[in-house]
């Protein structure tokens, strides 16, 4: 199966800018940004980010307030705080052998940086890769990592996979032609606590007076996204 997959990827793989570098910092930024954010939205933001902070040392030296402002619109803003902290660790101590020791870096992100930046023999298992592996029951080498990601994102979709165009359909995929129950999705944003937090953070980032949403402010304080100075809510320095 892997041969057919790699042949498909050579023709149809996505041309993503972070696939043209082995810089672990640039790859880490792409992976953190792409968590729960569509790749099409990530590409221009990643390019802007790397233009502003081209090295891990540059990001580590940046004020956290600037980093949080630059993250606005990507969602899940605590990722910006974790990325800034991780940059500080790397700038001070270098890249650790165990990448999961970095703030905000879980197993998948660590494996992605290890494989795509450092060339380690590991297959990063994101949701798309896991879906293809589970449905085919096949084994794939680390060389197939990017191809599996793209197949899961473009063809082997969560509910209704595009089996007629799948390179693995003719390779004996046991799930060919099946339909699947919808995967658990996050609740709607409208009216949610998540939306309230985002609204307060946007207000603070814009330098305006924060709302009276004390619960949202307290949650943002716990995540290191804002601080309270008397009656004023502001971004951390």
Residues facing 233 on adjacent strands? 228
31 in active site = yes
Q: Which of 31, 48, 208, 215 is catalytic?
A: 31
The tokens describing 129, both together, are 């890769």
> Contact, 193 vs 210, CB < 8 A?
no
Which of 120, 127, 70, 79 shows the shortest CA–CA distance to 103? 79
The beta-carbon contacts of 50-59 under 8 Å, at least 24 apart in sequence, are 50/26, 55/25, 56/25, 56/87, 56/90, 56/91, 57/87, 57/91, 59/25, 59/83, 59/84, 59/87, 59/91
CA 110, 103, 19, 166 torsion-angle sign: positive
Q: Which residues are catalytic?
A: 31
């Amino acid at each position: 199966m892997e041969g057919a997959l790699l042949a498909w990827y050579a023709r149809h793989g996505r041309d993503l800018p972070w696939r043209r570098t082995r810089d672990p910092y640039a790859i880490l930024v792409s992976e953190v940004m792409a968590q729960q954010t569509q790749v099409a939205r990530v590409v221009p933001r990643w390019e802007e980010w790397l233009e502003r902070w081209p090295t891990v040392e540059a990001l580590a030296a940046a004020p956290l307030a600037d980093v949080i402002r630059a993250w606005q619109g990507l969602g899940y803003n605590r990722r910006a705080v974790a990325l800034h902290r991780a940059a500080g660790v790397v700038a001070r101590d270098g890249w650790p052998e165990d990448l999961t020791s970095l703030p905000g870096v879980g197993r998948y992100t660590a494996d992605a940086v290890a494989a795509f930046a450092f060339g380690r023999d590991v297959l990063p298992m994101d949701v798309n890769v896991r879906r293809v592996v589970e449905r085919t029951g096949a084994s794939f080498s680390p060389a197939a990592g990017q191809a599996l990601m793209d197949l899961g994102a473009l063809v082997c979709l969560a509910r209704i996979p595009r089996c007629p165009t799948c390179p693995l359909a003719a390779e004996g995929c046991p799930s060919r032609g099946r339909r699947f129950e919808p995967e658990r999705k996050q609740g709607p944003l409208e009216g949610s606590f998540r939306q309230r937090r985002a609204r307060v953070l946007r207000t603070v980032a814009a330098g305006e007076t924060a709302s009276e949403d004390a619960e949202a402010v307290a949650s943002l304080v716990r995540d290191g996204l804002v601080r309270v100075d008397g009656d004023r809510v502001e971004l951390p320095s």
